[in-house]
Structures are given as structure tokens and as C-alpha cells.
């Protein structure tokens, strides 16, 4: 598993590889297996079109592709929209990751 070393080293290539590998481990593998073919094809499509890592969130059908920088995000966003439009549609959006970790706030 290379997810944590990639995170620690701030290496998006290694971290992305770990995200993708996670899709084939343990219960996550079962979550992916029960997805419609289109979802599995979308994950593969993003991996082949610039994403360092791709997968599904929980049981889906939210998928994600990890890229670096807004320009790369826009390129993958456009390609993914085209892919989805050819296959029944879907929503695509760009978001940032939270690099700060867990925060607690005492409410008293």
C-alpha cells in the first residue's frame, strides 16, 4: 500500500496510485464490483485521461479523479462530461482537497 507514503512525501503520482489500488482491496473491492458497468468504465476512463488516481466514494455512484492544478482539472472535467453525455449523462464538478486534516471545535 503506497497511499500513506505518497501522502507523507507529497507525491501525487504515488498517492494517486494508492487511491486507485484501494479500489481493489477488501470491502471496497465488493463496493466496486456491484457498480453498473458504466461506473467501472468511468473510473477507467478517468485513469486513462489524466487522473493520477480514480475510484468511487463508498457504494457510489459518486466517482472521483485526482489531478494536479486547475488546468488539468478543467481538461479532465470536459473529457468526463463528453464521456457521460455519450452514455446517458451525469454531473461533473471540480473541487479542492482538504489538506488540513481533522479539526475539533468545542461548543460550550
Give the three-class secondary structure for 63. Answer: strand
Residue with cell 470536459: 78
- Give phi and psi for 90, each to the nearest 5: 160, 170
Q: Give the pLDDT of residue 68.
A: 95
Domains for the chain: give ranges and CATH numbers: 3-86 (3.30.70.890)
- Which is more confidently placed, 107 or 91? 91
The structure's pTM equals 0.82
With cut-offs at 50, 70 and 90, classify the pLDDT of residue 41. Answer: very high
Amino acid at each position: 500500500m503506497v497511499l500513506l507514503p505518497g501522502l507523507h512525501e507529497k507525491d501525487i503520482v504515488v498517492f494517486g496510485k494508492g487511491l486507485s489500488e484501494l479500489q481493489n482491496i477488501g470491502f471496497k473491492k465488493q463496493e466496486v464490483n456491484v457498480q453498473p458497468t458504466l461506473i467501472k468504465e468511468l473510473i477507467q476512463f478517468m485513469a486513462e485521461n489524466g487522473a493520477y488516481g480514480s475510484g468511487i466514494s463508498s457504494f457510489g455512484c459518486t466517482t472521483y479523479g485526482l489531478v494536479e492544478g486547475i488546468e488539468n482539472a478543467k481538461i479532465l472535467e470536459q473529457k468526463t462530461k463528453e464521456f457521460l453525455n455519450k452514455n446517458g449523462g451525469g454531473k461533473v464538478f471540480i473541487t479542492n482537497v482538504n489538506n488540513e486534516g481533522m479539526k475539533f471545535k468545542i461548543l460550550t
